[in-house]
Chains A and B, each alone.
Chain A
Amino acid sequence: MALIELRDVSKVYGFGEASTLALDEVDLTITKGEFIAVMGPSGSGKTTLLNVIGLLDRPTHGSYILGKKPVSQLRVRQRSKLRRDRIGFVFQSYNLIQRLNVLENVALPLAYRGMTPVRRWRAASDMLERVGLRDREYFLPRHLSSGQAQRVAVARALINKPSIIIADEPTGNLDSFDSKVVMELFADIHRQGNTILLVTHNPELTRYANRVIYMYDGSIVGDEKTAIGSLARGARRIYFNRHKRTPEDITAGVSALMHEVPGKEVTSAPKRRRRAKRKTRRSKSATR
């Protein structure tokens, strides 16, 4: 099912001779549950594409359909409401509010929905548990490492249970270890059925995605599935949900990576309950 459809979407900045064509008649369809990496050189229109999809900006031409509803000509108030309810943003520079602590930063989107303080702090605390930062709830952003700050940003993006998560170079300011932690987090989120749109300059990170889009001069010049994306849907489900037994399986994932940080415990994948075998006529007769 198509979650996002862009048809002939163009974005022009400026006017007359000083105009810039940031997006040039882009056609793009994104289905629910896809993890799309967007790559391209600087100035190719990646961020503009994300801004249009994330309803931060309005296309100059073309149509944008989000969940079967046209949204390209919505008013500011309607766009901010949709953004609040259906889209989660993760930025390269984390964009946490420095005067609020971690818990308040994560709970902020819920405040804009009108949730009471106690309920939103509880929800924020649960979300921080999910990203492994519950013990940093009352820290200010300046007291966090870059990786921790980006995980807080991811938690904030997820708090409203959005349909789409838009990440604009989330690992751009992180070292390799923190980049891996954040990407594993995205992978976990993707496994749970979320749709992720990620801009990156690092080709290594595309292995987490199931589709890669290449942009150049405002147009999409390449659109291909990755190795994971090439798997059949059923096989992909098995790959994601297989019972982890090997040491490599145990050390994979965010929780296992936390094991490398002193004082953190490994949380192993839960054991699957085996379904009881159905007794068929043959097995019944065999037992007699």
Chain B
Amino acid sequence: MFSGNFKAAVSSLRASKWRSLLTMMGIIIGITLVVTIVSLGEGLKRQVTGQINQLGSDVLTVRSGKLVSRDKKGQVQSVNILSLFDSSTLTAKDVAALRAVRSAESVTPMAFVTSTVSSSSGELNNAYVLGTSPTLPDLLHQQIAYGSFFTAGSNQKFAVIGPNIAHKLYGALNPVAHTINISGQSYIISGVLKESPGGLLSVGQTDFNSAVFIPFEHAANLTGGSVNIVQILLKSKAGDTGATIRDARRVLLANHKDREDFSVLKQEELLDVVNSVVNRLTGFVSAIAAISLLVGGIGIMSIMLASVSERTREIGIRKAIGASNRQILNQFLVEGLVLTLSGGLVGVIISLLIFVILRLYTDLNPAITPAIMISAVLVAVVVGVIFSIAPALKAARKDPIQALRGD
């Protein structure tokens, strides 16, 4: 009976093509939006997770603010995302104090500055400038395409640039040994990074491909003294992260006068934070997109109610020849289901097209998985069932005699 209802549903949709298409538009738009947003979030998570995993399990991240709440055993209970947006409480003094920690093999600060970057052939406003130490490329397993990363103890003002900056300012020219102007100060380009998988919310909340790296000590020169240290990476000696965490906390609490306005996170805890941020962001934006699904569902209910009224006589005939209320209900439920299922499939196909366009023409890296597509289609089915029940019940409860009169 289901296949018969399915064929009848398809033929009744084909009988009024334009009406069916317009009815499906709400579902198509809703599914397209939700799938695109979720796939963008998924892609972002993969990017960030990839870079964090590159760090290795012996690297700890010190960040400003109390990002996580822990229980008595020290396990993470919840994530406080809003701390990410507070101003940084980490200072150069903290960096110096952490460098004295014996259990830390290396200390790599990342101070974030927004500056104007220019060369003889171009200028970039609001470019990302990261003040860091020479241990950064090894820690992140970041390779250099041309030249080398600046070394420690050098008094010369050297800078390393990302491939996007090199392309924008120098085109096809090799920028190594050229001069770059950062907020009025001249730096010599010592190297160009290879393409990095880093993105927003990744290490340093920066896309490394579009960043300029200068020695940490010179970052204060660009901002007139104070630096905004986004995070400090600590590599543990001999993989003993427990000891490094204890020592780091002790040192930072001493610097911050026993105020725990910082977080020392292991790799997996950092991943939890990042995943939590991305999930909440994705969920919030998807919820807004899902409003269009709700509107689409209401549209379907409205059209189905009109269809039931138009087909009152047909319902009477079906009941007269032996259809039960349940069979009439199923017939109209299947029609609603076919509408939303078709809309869901079209929405997923459009999402795939958008996915291809974004990958080809933008820097975004969305990731559409089969799970996302199947979930989208299932959501469309659920919407179809929910919003078709009322019209289907109305059809099933019609009196056959009244219906045959066409009332």
Contacts of A111 in B (CB 8 A): 1, 4
Cα A117 to Cα B320 in complex, Å, equals 21
Say if the beta carbon of B3 comes within 8 Å of chain A. yes
- Quick one: given A95-B404, A99-B12, are A76 and B327 in contact (CB under 8 Å)? no
Contact check, B317 vs A112: say whether CB atoms are below 8 A apart.
Answer: no
Q: Does B322 make an interface contact (CB < 8 A)?
A: yes
Q: How far is the CA of A141 from the CA of B174 in the complex (A)?
A: 78
Q: A51-B401, A111-B1, A117-B3 are in contact. Are A99 and B15 (CB under 8 A)?
A: yes
Q: Identify the B interface with A (CB < 8 A).
A: 1, 3-4, 8, 11-12, 15, 313-314, 316-327, 400-401, 404
Q: Is the CB of A81 within 8 A of B320?
A: no
A136 beta carbon closer than 8 Å to chain B: no
Please state if A95 and B325 are interface contacts (CB–CB under 8 Å): no
Report yes or no: A80 in contact with B325, Cβ–Cβ below 8 A: yes
Are A109 and B322 touching (Cβ within 8 A)? yes
Q: Is the CB of A56 within 8 A of B3?
A: no
8 contacting pairs across A/B (C-beta < 8 A): A77-B324, A77-B326, A97-B314, A108-B318, A112-B322, A113-B322, A114-B1, A157-B321
> Bound complex: CA of A80 vs CA of B119, how far in Å?
85
| Residues B317 and A95 in contact, CB atoms below 8 Å apart | yes
B321 touches A108 (CB 8 A): yes
- Contact check, A80 vs B3: say whether CB atoms are below 8 A apart: no
Give every chain B residue within 8 A of A96 (Cβ-Cβ): 317
Q: Does A151 interact with chain B (Cβ within 8 Å)?
A: no
Which B residues lie within 8 Å of A85 (CB)?
Answer: 322
Select the residue from B12, B316, B400, B401 with max chain A CB neighbours within 10 A. B400
Q: Is A190 an interface residue (CB 8 A)?
A: no
Minimum distance in angstroms from B145 CB to a CB of chain A: 65
A108 to chain B, nearest CB (A): 6
Q: Are B401 and A112 in contact (CB under 8 A)?
A: no
Instruction: Provide the residues of chain B in CB contact with A91, threshold 8 Å.
Output: 320, 404
Provide the bound-state CA to CA distance between A203 and B75, in Å. Answer: 94
Q: Give me the 3 closest cross-chain CB pairs, A-B, nearest first.
A: A84-B322, A80-B324, A95-B317
**Which B-chain residue is minimally distant from A82 (CB atoms)?**
B322
Whole-angstrom distance between the Cβ of A44 and the nearest chain B Cβ:
17
List 11 extra interface pairs beyond A80-B324, A99-B8, A157-B321, CB under 8 A. Answer: A56-B319, A80-B319, A81-B322, A83-B320, A83-B322, A84-B321, A95-B313, A95-B316, A96-B317, A97-B318, A112-B324
CA distance A51 to B402 in the complex (A): 12
Q: Are A76 and B322 in contact (CB under 8 A)?
A: no
**Residues of A close to B401: CB separation below 8 A:** 51, 56-57
Q: Are B325 and A77 in contact (CB under 8 A)?
A: yes
Residue of B whose beta carbon sits closest to that of A80: B324
Chain B proximity of A56: nearest CB distance (Å):
5
Please, which residues of chain B bring their CB within 8 A of the CB of A148?
none
Chain B minimum-CB-distance residue to A96: B317
